[in-house]
Amino acid sequence: MPYLTTALRDQRIRFRIVGAWNTLAGYLIFVGIHILIGSKFGNAAVVVVAYALALPLSFLMQKLFVFQSDGAWLKQFGRFVAANSLVFVANLLFLPLFVKITGVDVLVSQALFVLASTVISYLAHKHFSFAG
């Protein structure tokens, strides 16, 4: 257990753990919303509602577990939403463009984007969302 305790002191490791949890939780929220309203309102509505529900959960996990920030909640939440939304919009805009220009398969392209956006998200949250 001493290795685990030492590993959890590293913010980057906590970020990865929370990222994995948030990904699973976000997907399960998406599935639940899809089951509840998907057939009536469509996939776009499911994505929006699931995002709106998953984002506060993600914020809490990042604030309390990863960055252990005691800053102003509302200000940090606004910054967190802005940072996440920029990454989300960038994905929407650049994924089709990247696939079209490079010819790289969309699944491989999205995997590359996820890797890049993980680093960008960590830096944005560390230096912007939860910056002291």
- CA dist 18 and 100 (Å) reads 33
Does residue 85 sit in the same domain as residue 23? no
Segment 46-66 mean pLDDT: 95
Segment 56-83 mean pLDDT: 96
88-101 per-position pLDDT tens digit: 999 889 999 999 99
Dig out the tokens for 103 from the structure: 């010819």
pTM of the model: 0.86
Segment 56-69 mean pLDDT: 96
Range of the domain at 98: 71-132
Does residue 93 sit in the same domain as residue 110? yes
4: pLDDT strictly greater than 90: no
- The total number of structural domains that make up the chain: 2
